Amino acid sequence: MDVITDHLGEFGDGLLLTAELTLLALAGALAAGIIVAAMRVSPVRVLRAAGMAYVEVLQNIPLLVWLVIAVFGLPEIGVIAGLFTTSAVVIALYQGAYTAEAIRSGINAVPAGQGEAARALGLTFVQSLRLVVLPQALRTVVQPLGNIAIMTLMNTALAAAVGVVELTAAANRVNLAEAQPIWIFVTAGLAYMALSAVFGLVTGGLERKLAILR
Partner 1 sequence: MIMVRTPAGMRRAAVAAVAALSLTGLAACSGGDSGSAVPGSGGGKTDDLAASAPVASNLPAGSTMEKIKKRGELIVGGSLDAPLLSQQNPATKKVEGLDADFGRLLAKYIIGEPKVKIVNSASETREALLSNGTVDVVLQTYSITPERAEQVAFAGPYYSSGLVVATKKDETGIKAPADLKGRTVIAGANTPAIPAIKKAAPDAKILTFGSDPECVQALKQGRGDAYVQDQAILLATAKQDPSIKIQGEPFTSDPYGIGLKHGDTQMKQFVNDWLKKIEASGLWAKTWKNSIGTVVEGDAPQPPAIGSAKGSE
CB of 184 to partner 1, least distance (A): 9
CA distances 122 to 41, 101, 114, 118, 119, Å, are: 19, 28, 13, 7, 5
By beta-carbon proximity to partner 1, the closer residue of 43 and 208 is 43
Angle formed by the axes of helices 8-40 and 167-178, to 10°?
150
CB of 204 to partner 1, least distance (A): 29
Q: What one-character-per-residue DSSP string does 81-130 give? A: --HHHHHHHHHHHHHHHHHHHHHHHHHHHS-HHHHHHHHHTT--HHHIII
By beta-carbon proximity to partner 1, the closer residue of 96 and 115 is 115
Summarize as ranges the residues that interact with partner 1 (CB under 8 A).
Answer: 40-43, 48-49, 52-53, 56-57, 60-61, 65, 68-69, 72-73, 75-76, 80, 83, 107-108, 110, 112, 115-116, 119, 125, 128-129, 133, 160-163, 165, 169, 172-173, 175-179, 181-182, 185
CB of 168 to partner 1, least distance (A): 10
Q: Left (φ > 0), alpha (ψ -120 to 50) or beta: where does 79 sit? A: beta
CB of 9 to partner 1, least distance (A): 13
By beta-carbon proximity to partner 1, the closer residue of 99 and 128 is 128
